[in-house]
Amino acid sequence: MAQLSTKIKLYCEANSKVADFSNNVILQDDSDGKGAYIKTWSVDGLTKPTDSQIASYETAGNTEESNNSVRATRKSAYGDIGDQLDEIYKDIDAWKARIKKIKDDNPKA
């Protein structure tokens, strides 16, 4: 199940807005088993989403979170950019093969 913050981020992006979770969107979880909810909403020019609107982003949210995990795995496997540039300089074909393998081993949804 996608996190509420991910679904809100996608809702805002779909409406050409940005969810700033330290400023214009504040989430809260009261530890009552009901999960997180929107405590404060002040995204300029965009009304607070309904539960139905948030729920409509479940699939896209799951895909986004899965892809974020893949991106993090790839970033770690790629290594430091300076080392990559050195590898490219020394042997671009080996670098291309290594990067292709990382991408093949960690496909995005």
Backbone angles phi, psi at 54, to 5 degrees: -65, -45
Q: Taking the domains of the chain in order of start, what are their residue ranges?
A: 4-78
Contact between 1 and 54 (Cβ < 8 Å): no
- The percentage of the chain sitting over the pLDDT mark of 90, rounded to a whole number, equals 99
pLDDT of residue 29: 97
In 1-109, where do the E strands start and end?
A: 25-29, 36-41
Mean pLDDT of 102-106: 97
- Report H helices in the chain: 4-14, 51-55, 58-78, 81-90, 92-105
Contact between 10 and 61 (Cβ < 8 Å): yes
Contact between 53 and 69 (Cβ < 8 Å): no
Query: Is residue 85 scored above 90 in pLDDT?
Result: yes
Predicted confidence band of residue 109 (pLDDT cuts 50, 70, 90): confident
pTM (whole model) above 0.75: yes
Mean pLDDT of 89-94: 95
Measured between alpha carbons, how far is 83 from 104 in angstroms, rounded to an integer? 21
